[in-house]
């Protein structure tokens, strides 16, 4: 690294040793070729606690190799993979298949979740004790635990094991075949809507149970203002709760929807009022972290329009540029706060060590082009969006795991 380079480093409370000298001393073979501009930014490795890498079972959508490559391209050096797989990791035997794939092909650390219930069906507890030493936390993501008595039993078990429950909060009885937010766009275009209560109702139940049991409780992908209000109140009462939201919920509203499957995800993009409440939650500390809910599907599965396309979009390669452009550059959020949301808080909550960093040119402006992604998925509502911030390289575990221009 030459003396003429001007490098800015963002530090965080989690990694006080993070400095240009301190970081680069751990990477003695740091290539001079990375530094092809006069000004650069080093950012600590991001951590996403909510991704879907689809393997084992659905490798036509994504693999551990392609998903972790996409994560590295987005500046991530740790991700947590959800358990809606085949086989579902509901036992040590089933988990072993995923662990073998991670060991063989992951480019960065990939931490598996264990399922809460057998087959994620909500009827019988998974082998929580057998899984606990080998998983980052427990979740039935993709499905909400419908039974209150089952959720209470799961919380009691996870409390005893010292593990976090990461809950997909969705009341099936309130879905009524919906697939977009039950708001203005749905009514104007004749679509069936998903009401906000289908999310905040289970959150209210679970917060009461978390207070009762003392379980460490994390709420996945919150999307509506009522969820923010409930979690804010629970934190004031001392409930051990954290939560996440996604870039798409912070930057879009249902007014931005188009008749295209790349705008379909679960929970759905909601109203501008909900979006504003989420941003307020970021600013006051109610929302602890930003996760992508990276959920790739095949092109065919996302080509069926809003009604019939599969739920889910990709996001690992676009998250930071979108948030930096849409929130930091506009003065909504400080860079330091964004680093708390993408680095510090997720690692602290889930006990993930800080490692690695990425090199960014924050002045480069470009349009998001899904054909350039390393993920196998292509569906994003942000295709064609102009952003600032290009990842030049990512380093993790003492080696370079991504270099700009890497071909898929």
Is 293 among the residues known to form the active site? yes
What number of other Cβ atoms are within 10 A of residue 99's Cβ?
15
Confidence of residue 17 (pLDDT cuts 50, 70, 90): very low
What number of other Cβ atoms are within 10 A of residue 231's Cβ?
25
- The terminus-to-terminus CA distance of the chain in angstroms comes to 28
Check residue 19 and give its pLDDT.
52
Tens of pLDDT, residues 283-311: 999 999 999 999 999 999 999 999 999 99
Task: Please determine, for residue 92, whether its predicted confidence score (pLDDT) is greater than 50.
Answer: yes
Check residue 12 and give its pLDDT.
47
Residue 197: phi and psi, rounded to 5, are: -65, -25
Across the chain, what does the average pLDDT equal?
A: 92
Task: Please determine, for residue 405, whether its predicted confidence score (pLDDT) is greater than 70.
Answer: yes
CA-to-CA distance for 231 and 346, rounded, in angstroms?
Answer: 17
Check residue 25 and give its pLDDT.
60
CA-to-CA distance for 356 and 23, rounded, in angstroms?
Answer: 8
Residue 222: phi and psi, rounded to 5, are: -70, 145
Domains of the chain, residue spans = 6-403
Tens of pLDDT, residues 114-156: 999 999 999 999 999 999 999 999 999 999 999 999 999 999 9
Q: Which two tokens stand for residue 117?
A: 């219930």
Tens of pLDDT, residues 174-214: 999 999 999 999 999 999 999 999 999 999 999 999 999 99
Domain 6-403 CATH (choose: 3.40.50.300, 3.20.20.140, 3.30.450.20, 3.30.9.10): 3.20.20.140
Q: Nearest-CA neighbor of 391 among 372, 405, 408, 377?
A: 405
Check residue 354 and give its pLDDT.
85
pTM over 0.85: yes
Task: Please determine, for residue 28, whether its predicted confidence score (pLDDT) is greater than 70.
Answer: no
Check residue 246 and give its pLDDT.
98
Please tell me which residue in 90, 140, 206, 293 is annotated as part of the active site: 293
Residues 71 and 48: beta-carbon distance below 8 Å:
yes
């Amino acid at each position: 690294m030459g003396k003429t380079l001007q490098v800015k480093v963002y530090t965080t409370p989690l990694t006080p040793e993070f400095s240009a000298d301190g970081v680069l001393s751990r990477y003695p073979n740091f290539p001079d070729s990375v530094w092809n501009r006069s000004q650069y930014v080093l950012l600590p490795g991001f951590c996403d606690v909510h991704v879907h890498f689809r393997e084992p079972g659905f490798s036509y959508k994504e693999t551990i190799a392609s998903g972790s490559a996409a994560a590295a391209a987005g500046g991530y050096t740790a991700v947590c993979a959800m358990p809606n797989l085949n086989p579902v990791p509901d036992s040590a035997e089933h988990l072993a298949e995923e662990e073998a794939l991670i060991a063989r092909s992951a480019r960065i650390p990939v931490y598996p979740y264990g399922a809460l219930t057998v087959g994620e069906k909500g009827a019988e507890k998974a082998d929580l004790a057998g899984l606990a030493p080998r998983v980052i936390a427990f979740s039935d993501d993709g499905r909400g635990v419908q039974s209150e008595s089952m959720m209470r039993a799961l919380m009691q078990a996870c409390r005893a094991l010292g593990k976090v429950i990461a809950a997909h909060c969705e009341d099936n009885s309130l879905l009524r075949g919906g697939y977009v937010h039950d708001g203005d766009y749905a009514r104007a275009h004749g679509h069936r809507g998903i009401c906000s209560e289908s999310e905040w109702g289970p959150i209210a139940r679970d917060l009461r149970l978390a207070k009762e049991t003392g379980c460490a409780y994390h709420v996945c992908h919150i999307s509506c203002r009522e969820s923010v209000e409930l979690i804010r109140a629970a934190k004031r009462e001392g409930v051990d709760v954290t939560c996440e939201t996604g870039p798409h919920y912070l930057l879009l509203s249902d007014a931005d929807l188009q008749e295209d499957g790349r705008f379909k995800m679960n929970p759905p993009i909601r109203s501008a009022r909900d979006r504003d409440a989420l941003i307020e939650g970021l600013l006051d500390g109610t929302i602890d972290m930003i996760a992508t809910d990276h959920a790739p599907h095949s092109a065919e599965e996302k080509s069926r329009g809003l009604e019939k396309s599969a739920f889910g979009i990709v996001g690992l390669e676009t998250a930071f540029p979108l948030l930096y452009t849409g929130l930091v550059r506009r003065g909504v959020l400080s860079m330091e706060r964004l680093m708390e949301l993408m680095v510090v808080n997720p690692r602290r909550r889930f006990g993930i060590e800080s490692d690695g960093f990425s090199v960014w040119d924050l002045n480069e402006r470009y349009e998001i082009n899904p054909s350039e992604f390393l993920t196998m998925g292509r569906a994003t509502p942000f295709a064609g969006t102009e952003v600032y911030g290009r990842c030049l390289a990512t380093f993790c575990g003492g080696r370079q795991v991504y270099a700009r221009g890497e071909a898929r």
